[in-house]
Amino acid sequence: MSGSGMTAGGAPGGTAGGVSGAGGDAGARDRRARLVVTAFYLVQGMCFAGLLAQVPTLQHDLGISDGTLTLILLLVPVVAGVGSVLAGALAPRVGSARLLHVCGPLVALAVLGAGLAPTVTILYPVVAAVGLLLGLVDASMNMQGVEVEQRYGRSLLNSFHGAWSVGGILGSLAAVLAHSLGWSLAAGLGLVAAVGVAVDLVATAAASEDGAPRPDAREAVPGVVTAEPPLRTVTGVPEPAGPAGRERADAGASRAARPPWGPLVLVGLAVTIVYVADSATSNWSTKYIQDALGAAANVAPLGLAAYLGCQLLGRLAADRQVNRYGPVAPVAVGGIVGAAGLAAVTLAPGPWVAVVGFGLTGLGLSVVVPLAFSVAGRLDPEGTGVAVARVNLFNYVGFVVGAGLIGGVAELLSLRLAFAVPALLALGVIALAPAFKVAARDGVASPAVAP
């Protein structure tokens, strides 16, 4: 699908006049698409972190034991994995942008639903809905991010994931604000949901301003000959009309171009390790700082905020470093820094050392996941989104392992010792760093456009 950004220069409307003005029009469309996708990343991070930062409050209000809380936290990534698989099946048929526009606001509403659940019995199906929608949005959001990156012809996914980190910081600070003002759980999550729905709807409206060309618009451009199927534009990023015509035209070539599992497994293992650490931080940092280290309720969420803030700083700097040095060195160095941060968390004598440790963890491991999706994009020449959905599954594997492992060790030993597990696993990122070299090979849409 990387070639879809180059044919006819992205001319809108499929007219001869569109070809002559393609550079400026395509650049404006690409910039708009980048902003729209960035907005969805931001809202996803805000909703996710906003809910997780309120886990201690949710546990207290409903009288949930640590064991039951572990099961609830495990439910989210398990069902999210189903959502990711579903997104991989639906995206080639309906378009990843359409999935994103529909499911994005629903995530925010589902998060509010968790705050309104009156009993644990009702909380289970609500949390399952949250997980399913998170999986659908995670996968479709990264499909859109990969497509925009390929149209720009340079590394951009770290900046998209940086927007996710900004949203995560806002979600964490929303929890701090709610605690400081004495708001109820429903009120705190209601604020997050209201902002999330509003931003998603504005982004969807901005995407629709570009309009969509006719199904045969690509074929209507004079002088353009292409073997690819017609395109439809949903978010300003063209997507294939569907796999059926392509398979009828060349089923053998389509089979040969299927994304390979081997390279995806290697980068996926690194993603799993990162999300074990991410799961430990997202699910347990607030509780660890508050219960194990004796911090006040309005200080405890700062661990997650520091993690996401430093993750943001790392991602803002990463695209330039990756474009200059390649992906292997940033991934390897990040593994070292991330392991050091988690070691500091494990050995922390007080809340503020743990906050610093969580910050180092976010800084070190920040680059791994965006580069993994870049690898997936380059290993999917047909641009179906299947490779992205596959890598996204390792996200949830890590989150399941992280939630269960940290919760289990905390029950058997202590929450402090539980953080030693991801600290040791983070060293595995160093060994897996060479697998990211594929992200530097050719295959990205070549014409760069203005940022």
What is the tens place of the pLDDT at every residue in 202-216?
999 988 765 433 333
Nearest to 162 by CA among 330, 312, 48, 308: 312
Q: How far apart are CA 150 and CA 37, in angstroms?
A: 14
Query: For residue 234, what pLDDT is reported?
Result: 40
CB 272 within 8 A of CB 394: yes
**Would you say residue 265 has pLDDT above 60?**
yes
User: Mind listing the pLDDT tens digit for each residue in 338-396?
Assistant: 999 999 999 999 899 999 999 999 999 999 998 888 888 877 766 667 788 888 889 88
* 3-class secondary-structure state, position 142: helix
Please state which of the ranges 8-12, 317-321, 332-336, 401-405 shows the lowest mean pLDDT. 8-12
Residue 232, beta-bridge partner list: 239
Q: Please give the mean pLDDT across all residues of the chain.
A: 79
Q: How far apart are CA 378 and CA 435, in angstroms?
A: 13
**Would you say residue 291 has pLDDT above 70?**
yes
For the segment 262-270, the average pLDDT, to the nearest whole number, is: 86
**Would you say residue 153 has pLDDT above 60?**
yes
User: Mind listing the pLDDT tens digit for each residue in 304-344?
Assistant: 888 878 988 998 888 888 888 888 889 999 999 999 999 99
Residue 233, beta-bridge partner list: 238
**Would you say residue 245 has pLDDT above 60?**
no
Share of the chain above pLDDT 90, in %: 36
Query: For residue 258, what pLDDT is reported?
Result: 66
**Would you say residue 255 has pLDDT above 70?**
no
Residue 238, beta-bridge partner list: 233
**Would you say residue 14 has pLDDT above 50?**
no
Query: For residue 5, what pLDDT is reported?
Result: 34
For the segment 92-111, the average pLDDT, to the nearest whole number, is: 92
CB 344 within 8 A of CB 375: no
Query: For residue 438, what pLDDT is reported?
Result: 66
The phi and psi torsions of 39 (rounded to 5 degrees) equal -60, -40
DSSP per-residue codes, 25-52: HHHHHHHHHHHHHHHHHHHHHHHHHHHH
Please state which of the ranges 253-257, 363-367, 442-446 shows the lowest mean pLDDT. 442-446
CB 114 within 8 A of CB 127: yes
